[in-house]
Amino acid sequence: MAIRPILIAGDPRLSTPASPVTEFDAELASFIDDLFETNTAAHGAGLAANQVGDPRAVFVYDLVDHGVHHRGHIVNPVLETSELPETMPDPDDDLEGCLSVPGEWFPTGRADWAKVTGVDMHGAPVTVEGTGYLARCLQHETDHLAGRLYLTRLIGRNHRAARRMIRDRDWTRPGNSWLPDGSGRRPR
């Protein structure tokens, strides 16, 4: 297993839709282990393959929601959600962050319920369904695999603040990344 560098907003690999996985082999299993190890070292809730520069449609999640631990992976995910909110997200309850936007949090509107279907590393069917933080994570990670950062979902003043932050941090060019060291510190 290995901790991999995490790409930062501005890298075109983060805005490129993932390719379906067709090879279910030991290399895929090893890669999924690397995603888990990288996510753990970064203190993340989830990590998509394209966040470490891999084009395959796979993500891992590892989080606690309402006292319940959820951990797993999904290959070739398909997302279904309840209706998305049309109002401004709550600045306290709807904060969202991303390992590819290190150190930043913005209120982001998400559906209250989400279900993802796909397969596991062996090709066996998998379904994960949830509300709350788990639903947010499932939507966030499938967005990554569609080539969308959560910043694209921001509206109003949050959208403007994110654009300024990207410019001020010079995250407008490819190749920026960070390597989690397990401390939980993220680059600023």
> What pLDDT is stored for residue 91 in this prediction?
80
Kindly state whether residue 184 falls inside one of the protein's structural domains.
no
d(C-alpha 107, C-alpha 86), whole Å:
13
Residue 111: pLDDT band (50, 70, 90) is: very high
Residue indicated by tokens 């936007």:
101
- Mean pLDDT over all residues of the chain? 94
Supply the CATH number for residue 48's domain: 3.90.45.10
> What pLDDT is stored for residue 187 in this prediction?
67
Q: How many CB atoms lie within 10 A of CB 25?
A: 10
Assign 110 to helix, strand or coil.
coil
> What pLDDT is stored for residue 88 in this prediction?
80
Kindly state whether residue 188 falls inside one of the protein's structural domains.
no
- Domain limits for position 18: 6-176
User: Pick the residue with more confidence: 71 or 172?
Assistant: 71
Q: Across residues 112-141, what is the average pLDDT?
A: 98
Kindly state whether residue 99 falls inside one of the protein's structural domains.
yes
Q: 37, 96, 104, 141: which one is catalytic?
A: 141
> What pLDDT is stored for residue 1 in this prediction?
79
Kindly state whether residue 187 falls inside one of the protein's structural domains.
no
Our answer to whether residue 129 is catalytic in this structure is no
Cβ(16)–Cβ(147) below 8 Å: yes
Summarised one tens digit per residue, pLDDT across range 52-108 is 999 999 999 999 999 999 999 999 999 999 998 888 888 878 899 999 999 999 999
Q: Across residues 15-31, what is the average pLDDT?
A: 98
Q: Please provide the DSSP assignment of 65-108 as one string.
A: ETTEEEEEEEEEEEEEESPPP-SPPPTTTSEEEETTEEEEEEE-
Kindly state whether residue 182 falls inside one of the protein's structural domains.
no
- Residue 182 predicted with pLDDT over 80: no
Cα separation values, 181 from 37, 43, 93, 184, 187, Å: 11, 10, 29, 7, 11
> What pLDDT is stored for residue 185 in this prediction?
66
Kindly state whether residue 181 falls inside one of the protein's structural domains.
no
> Does residue 140 have a known ligand-binding role?
yes
> What pLDDT is stored for residue 89 in this prediction?
84
- Residue 51 predicted with pLDDT over 90: yes
Summarised one tens digit per residue, pLDDT across range 151-160 is 999 999 999 9
d(C-alpha 179, C-alpha 41), whole Å:
9
Kindly state whether residue 88 falls inside one of the protein's structural domains.
yes
- Residue 39 predicted with pLDDT over 70: yes
> What pLDDT is stored for residue 181 in this prediction?
86
Q: Number of structural domains, the chain?
A: 1
Tokens of 87: 């109002």
Kindly state whether residue 36 falls inside one of the protein's structural domains.
yes
d(C-alpha 95, C-alpha 137), whole Å:
12
